Amino acid sequence: MKRFLLYLFRWQLSTPILWVVVRNLGAGIWSTVAANLIGGAIFFWVDRFIFTSYAVEVWQFKDKGRCDRCGREESLWRLVRAANYDRRDARPVFLCMDCSKAKTDALRAQGYRIRGKSR
């Protein structure tokens, strides 16, 4: 949801920039090219921020189930995606709160940028 809002904001940004550039240069093919170059230069950084930020972190939650690591019956969590972590295609592994915390700590130690879920 946060990511979606960021995206709406990102696309709103393009409107005034394109408008200002096109207006100042007069509408023509070169001004459109210039507008797109300027827009692209700006949005490269905006996109980079969005895709490397913690906002992309995605967790799956199961209200009740058996932990894949310790077998305890509890609410389960699965990290699907983080800034530089993507397990959307992997076999789902659901972990209880304790195992999940241990796993995210281990992943963080390996350099993954994981914020962790908020309870």
The answer to whether residues 108 and 57 touch, using CB atoms and an 8 Å cutoff, is no
d(CA 80, CA 70): 20
Using the rule CB under 5 A, give the single segment among 4-12, 48-56, 81-89, 96-104 that binds Zn ion.
96-104
Q: Applying CB under 5 A, which of residues 69, 81, 108, 117 lies at the interface with Zn ion?
A: 69
Nearer to Zn ion, 3 or 69 (CB): 69
Question: To the nearest whole angstrom, how small is the minimum distance from the Cβ of residue 7 to Zn ion?
Answer: 35
x/- binding map, residues 2-41, to Zn ion, per CB under 5 A? ----------------------------------------
Alpha-carbon radius of gyration of the chain? 21
3-state secondary structure of 44: helix
Q: Applying CB under 5 A, which of residues 67, 76, 82, 114 lies at the interface with Zn ion?
A: 67
d(CA 108, CA 1): 24
